Structure 1
Amino acid sequence: MTTWPPDPAKLMRPVYRSLASSIAGAIDSGKLQPGERLPTHRELAYQLGISVQTVSRAYEELIRTDLVVGEVGRGTYVKDPASDHRAPPFQRIDGSERVIDCSMLTPVRGALHDTALTSALREMSRETPPADWFSFRPRHAYQSHMQPALRWLKLCGLAPHPEQVLPVNGATVAMNVAVMTAATSGDLVVTEDMGHHTLKTLARIYGLRLTGLACDEQGILPDALDHAARHHGARVLYVMPSGNSPRTLSMGAKRRTDIVALARKYDLQIIENDAWGPLEPDRPPPLAALAPERVFHVSGVSKCLMPALRFGWLVVPQPHVTAAFSQHMVTDWMANPLSADIVSRWIADGTALKLLNWQRDMLARRNALVRRHLGGLGVWSNPHGMHVWLPLPGHWDETSFVSSARQHGVAVAPGHAFETGVTRSPHRGVRICLGGPNDAELAEALRLVAWLAQNRPGPEFLTF
C-alpha cells in the first residue's frame, strides 16, 4: 500500500467521516484491492496520529456500506461486490445513527394500516373457525380464501382456474417454487441484465446457469432473447416487466407480445415477477394472460398493502400444476393461514382496494417529489413506482456515491447489487426507494442526492 493510508494533514472534521471517505476512494481507485487486509485499528491510529475510537468509527461506516468486512480474529478486509452474491442491496441500519433509509424497498405506511390490521385481528378473534387455525391440510385451509384470491388476480389482469392458484408465503416463496418447477440443473435461465437481487444466489443453489440480457427502456430486447435461445439453448426467461426492475423498466403491449412469440417459438418457460401486483394502473395485460400455458405468474401483497403480510399467489401453467404444488409442499408445506385470512377479509370487504388506492396516491406524491428534486438528472421512474433509478454522471462511481450518501445520512442501493451477468453492467447508477421515509425525510434525502450527483467527490462533501 505505497499510496495509502492518506495524509493526516488532509483529514477534515469529522475525522472519522473523512477517513472513511479516503478509504472508500482508495477502494474505488484500486489502491486497495478486494480481499486486501486493512491495518488494525491501533496500527492505523498510530500511523495517522488519531484516536483508536476514530478509526473504529470509520471502519464501522465502511462495514455499514458493505465496502469492508470485519472478521473476528482475522481483521478487516476489502469486500468484492462483484463476487459477493449474498450481499443485499439494502443497507444495515441499527437505529444508533440518524439515517434516512432509501435502500430498503417498502411501501408507504400510515395510520390507515394500523386501523385496518387492528380491526381485522379483532374480527378474526371472534369469527374465525378453529379448524382454520389448526388445519395442516393446505387445500382445506384455503377453500374459503380462493374467491378473494381470484378477485385480486383479476385486478392483476388474470382469470386463472382455481386449481392453478397456489397460495404462498409471499413473492419470494413463489419465485423459488417457480424456478424449481420450470428449470432443472444445468439449464440456462435468462433475465434482465439488472434484475432481482436474489436470483443469482437462487440459480447457484439449484445448479442453473444465469445470463443477463441487454435491455432498453422497455426491458429485454427481443433480439437478445432470440440470440440466447437460438445459440445458447436458453430454457427459462425470468422477467420483471411492470416497472419493478431496478431500472424501473416497463414493457409495452407490443414488446410483451414479441417476447411471448419468442417463448412459444423456442418453447421457453417464463417466470413473471409481478410482486407489486396492480399498484401501477392502466398497465398492459401480464405475460401470463398472453401465454397462460407457459408463464408462472408471481404476485404478493407485502409491497402494495402491508410488509408484515408475507402472502401472495403463484399462478401455475396447467401442465405444471402437480409439480409446482409438490415442490411447494416439500419446501414450505403451506402458506400462513393467519396472513391468508387477513388478506382474504380485506379483499372481500374492500379494505384491500382502499389500501391499494391509498398507496397509489402516496407514491404518486412521492414521485412528484422526485421529479422536483431530481428531474434534471435523467432519473428513471414510474408514476406510482416504489423506487427510482438515478444514473450516475461520469465523475462518480457507485461505491463512492453510496458511501458519500451514507456519510451524509442517506442510504441508497448500488446498481452492482442487481447485476445478473458475469460482467459489469454498463448501467451505472443507484436505486432510491421512496416508501420508507416520511415526506419531509424523503425531500431532504432527495436534495442531498441531487447535490451529490451534481458535484465531484472530495473532502468538500463533509460540509454539506
Structure 2
Amino acid sequence: MTMWIPNIEAAAGPIYLAIADALEGDIQAGALAQGDRLPPQRELAYQLGVTLGTITRAYGEAERRRLVKGETGRGTYVASETQKVSPLVPQEDEPEACDLARNFAYPHLNPSLAEGLVRMAKTNGIDRLNGFVPSEGLRAHRETGVLVFKDYGLEADPARVAVTCGAQHGIQVTCQALFRTGDAVAVDRFTYPSIFSSLSSLGLKAVPLPALRREDGGFGAMDPDALASAARTHGVKGVFLMPNMQNPTTHTMSITEREDLVRVARENDLKIVEDDPYTPFLPETLPSFGALAPELTASIASISKVCSPGSRIGFVHVPASFGDSIRNKIGESTWMASPITAELIAGWVREGLLFRTLRLKRKANRSRFLNAREILAPHFLQSGTDKVFGWLRLPDQVDPDALQAALGHQGVSVLSSRHFQVRDYESAPYVRLTFGSEPSDDRFVWALKRIRSTINQLADLPELTRPVG
C-alpha cells in the first residue's frame, strides 16, 4: 500500500474535490503509478483530520473520473490508463481459432437477413422508419417486446416496455434510471463479465456475493442470507441477477430460490435488475422476477442470442415510476434504438420465425452438449442439453489462466474464471466453454479433445481414449 497523503492546504472549495484534484495531479506527475493501492478511507481521514464521509466522497469522485478502481474487500487502486480490448469483442482480422470463448449461440443458424430485408421493403409505411421516433420506440415494436417477454415468464405492459440497442444498452440505461452515483449493487461472485465495467462507468460499486451450492457440487442461486447481510453491511441498493441459465455457471433458479431472493429484496427495499438473454432456449418457463416483484424489478430481454445480434435490439420492462427516467436515459444515450432493425425483428416474431430458429438451435445444442459431457468426463461440466455453454470444473492443480493460454496456442479459445469475477480476485478452478460459436461440428469435437488432453497434461493425469458417441 502506498502511504499517499494529499497536499490540500491551499485548497478552496469542497475538501473532497480538493482531495480528488490532488490525486489526479499526483498521478499525472508520476508520484502515483498504475496499481498503487491508496490508504484505507478511515486512515486517510485520520491523517487529514476530516470526516470519513469526506474521504468516501473524494474516492467516489476519483472513481467517477476513472482515476481509481475500488475492489470490495481489497481496497482502492490507481487505475490503468488504457485497457486491453475484451476477448469477448470480435476483431475483423483476428487469427482463425476454434471459438469456445464467446457465446454467440449458433449464429450460422440465424434467419436469412436478405429475406427479412425483402419482406421489410414491402411493408406499408416503411418510410416512416427512416425518421425520428419516440425514445421508447414505436408502440408496434414495444408490443413485439411484450411477445418476447412472454417467453421470459412475464406478462408485460406495453406502456412500461422500451426498445433498446440490445441488452447491454438495456443494462446501462436501466442502472442509470434505478440507481444513483455511488450506490452499491450486489452481483454474483461469478457473473456476466461486462456488468463490472458497466457499473463502474456509471459510478456504481459492484459487491460480489457467493452462491448456494447444489447437491451435485455445482453453483446455485445467489445466497439470500449473503444478500441480506450485504444490504446491512455494504448498504447495497439493488441486485443484478440472471435467473435463467446464469452466466457462467448455467444455473436456472428454482421457484424457491426466486422467492427467497424476492423476500430479501422486499425486506431491504432493493431494486432488482434481471437479465435473461438465454431464457428462450429453456423448455420450461418459470415466473420472472418482474412477475414475482413487479414493483421492484426492471427486466431486460434480447433476441441477440436467438436470431439477430446484428440488429442490436433489446427490450426493457420497468416499474411504472421509472418509465420517464428510462425514456430520458435512452434519449440521452442514443435518442432511440433503430426503428428499422426493430421492424426487422417484429416481422420475424410475427411470422413465427423465432420459434423455428429456436427449434434448430435447440437440436444442435443437444448434440453439442452430449459430446462435451462425454469427451470431457470425468471432469464435472455444469450444463445441460438446454444450456448453450458449460462451466467446467478443473482439477485443483490446473490453473485456469494457464489452461486458457495453453489452448490459445493450439488454436482453441476458452475463458478462465478470472473473466467472470471482480479483477484481482484469485482465479477459481473453472473455465467456461460455449457450444454454439464454432459452426463446424467436427472442429467442435476436435477442440473438446484438445481441452481434455491439455487438462490432463497440466494435471499430470494419464490420457484416456474413449469413443465419442
- TM-score tier by shorter-chain length is 0.7 to 0.9
With structure 2 as the length reference, what TM-score do the two structures score? Answer: 0.75
Q: CA deviation at 1:93?
A: 6.5
| Structure 1 segment 127-206 matched on structure 2, within 5 A | 127-138=123-134, 142-206=138-202
Q: CA deviation at 1:300?
A: 0.4
Paired residues of 2:183 and 2:204 also in contact (CA < 8 A) = yes
Letter in 1 for 2:166: G
Give the structure 1 partner of residue 405 of structure 2: 403
Letter in 2 for 1:434: F
Letter in 2 for 1:417: H
Paired residues of 1:195 and 1:420 also in contact (CA < 8 A) = no
Give the structure 2 partner of residue 259 of structure 1: 261
1:211 aligns with 2:213: no
1:352 aligns with 2:350: no
C-alpha separation between the residues in 1 aligned to 2:388 and 2:83? 24
Q: CA deviation at 1:130?
A: 3.8
Give the structure 2 partner of residue 434 of structure 1: 435
Q: Measured at CA, do residues 132 and 424 of structure 1 come closer, stay the same or move farther in structure 2, by a change above 3 Å?
A: farther
Pick from 229, 234, 239: which aligns with 2:236? 234
SS at match of 1:451: helix
Paired residues of 1:193 and 1:421 also in contact (CA < 8 A) = no
Pick from 97, 100, 118: which aligns with 1:122? 118
Letter in 2 for 1:123: R
Q: CA deviation at 1:338?
A: 1.9
C-alpha separation between the residues in 2 aligned to 1:275 and 1:86? 25
Query: Which deviations, in whole Å up to 9, do the C-alpha atoms of 1:45-69 show, x marking residues without a partner?
Result: xxxxxxxxxxxxxxxxxxxxxxxxx
C-alpha separation between the residues in 2 aligned to 1:134 and 1:359? 33
SS at match of 1:432: strand
Give the structure 2 partner of residue 324 of structure 1: 326
Give the structure 1 partner of residue 86 of structure 2: 88
Letter in 2 for 1:275: P
C-alpha separation between the residues in 2 aligned to 1:421 and 1:93? 23
C-alpha separation between the residues in 1 aligned to 2:406 and 2:221? 30
Q: Measured at CA, do residues 379 and 93 of structure 1 come closer, stay the same or move farther in structure 2, by a change above 3 Å?
A: farther
Give the structure 2 partner of residue 109 of structure 1: 107
Q: Measured at CA, do residues 288 and 398 of structure 1 come closer, stay the same or move farther in structure 2, by a change above 3 Å?
A: same
Letter in 2 for 1:137: V
Q: Measured at CA, do residues 112 and 170 of structure 1 come closer, stay the same or move farther in structure 2, by a change above 3 Å?
A: closer
C-alpha separation between the residues in 2 aligned to 1:210 and 1:155? 29
Q: CA deviation at 1:95?
A: 5.7
C-alpha separation between the residues in 2 aligned to 1:337 and 1:323? 20
SS at match of 1:369: helix
Q: Measured at CA, do residues 143 and 92 of structure 1 come closer, stay the same or move farther in structure 2, by a change above 3 Å?
A: closer
C-alpha separation between the residues in 2 aligned to 1:348 and 1:164? 21
C-alpha separation between the residues in 2 aligned to 1:289 and 1:395? 44
Q: Measured at CA, do residues 229 and 242 of structure 1 come closer, stay the same or move farther in structure 2, by a change above 3 Å?
A: same
Q: Measured at CA, do residues 350 and 399 of structure 1 come closer, stay the same or move farther in structure 2, by a change above 3 Å?
A: same
Q: Which has the higher contact order (CA 8 A, sep 6+)?
A: 1
Q: Measured at CA, do residues 128 and 405 of structure 1 come closer, stay the same or move farther in structure 2, by a change above 3 Å?
A: farther
Q: Measured at CA, do residues 139 and 327 of structure 1 come closer, stay the same or move farther in structure 2, by a change above 3 Å?
A: closer
Q: Measured at CA, do residues 345 and 193 of structure 1 come closer, stay the same or move farther in structure 2, by a change above 3 Å?
A: same
Give the structure 2 partner of residue 368 of structure 1: 370
Paired residues of 1:277 and 1:300 also in contact (CA < 8 A) = no
| Structure 1 segment 289-300 matched on structure 2, within 5 A | 289-300=291-302
Q: Measured at CA, do residues 334 and 305 of structure 1 come closer, stay the same or move farther in structure 2, by a change above 3 Å?
A: same
SS at match of 1:218: strand
Give the structure 2 partner of residue 54 of structure 1: none
With structure 1 as the length reference, what TM-score do the two structures score? Answer: 0.76
Give the structure 2 partner of residue 417 of structure 1: 419
Q: Measured at CA, do residues 340 and 96 of structure 1 come closer, stay the same or move farther in structure 2, by a change above 3 Å?
A: closer
Query: Which deviations, in whole Å up to 9, do the C-alpha atoms of 1:178-204 show, x marking residues without a partner?
Result: 111111111111100011211211222
Letter in 2 for 1:449: I
Letter in 1 for 2:205: R
Deviates more, 1:123-132 or 1:158-167: 123-132
Query: Which deviations, in whole Å up to 9, do the C-alpha atoms of 1:280-336 show, x marking residues without a partner?
Result: 121421111101111111110111112222111011111211111111111121111
| % same residue | 25
Deviates more, 1:151-160 or 1:88-97: 88-97
Give the structure 2 partner of residue 452 of structure 1: 454
Q: CA deviation at 1:111?
A: 5.8
Structure 2 alignment gaps of length 5 or more: 1-33, 36-76, 213-218, 464-469
Paired residues of 1:190 and 1:212 also in contact (CA < 8 A) = yes
Paired residues of 2:181 and 2:204 also in contact (CA < 8 A) = yes
Q: CA deviation at 1:142?
A: 1.6
C-alpha separation between the residues in 2 aligned to 1:211 and 1:228? 8
Q: CA deviation at 1:228?
A: 0.4
Q: CA deviation at 1:86?
A: 5.6
Q: CA deviation at 1:448?
A: 0.8
SS at match of 1:210: strand
Q: CA deviation at 1:231?
A: 2.2
Q: CA deviation at 1:98?
A: 4.4
Structure 1 alignment gaps of length 5 or more: 1-33, 36-79
Q: Measured at CA, do residues 126 and 344 of structure 1 come closer, stay the same or move farther in structure 2, by a change above 3 Å?
A: same
C-alpha separation between the residues in 2 aligned to 1:194 and 1:131? 45
C-alpha separation between the residues in 2 aligned to 1:378 and 1:105? 20
Query: Which deviations, in whole Å up to 9, do the C-alpha atoms of 1:148-169 show, x marking residues without a partner?
Result: 3222211221112111101111
Give the structure 2 partner of residue 273 of structure 1: 275
| Structure 1 segment 306-325 matched on structure 2, within 5 A | 306-325=308-327
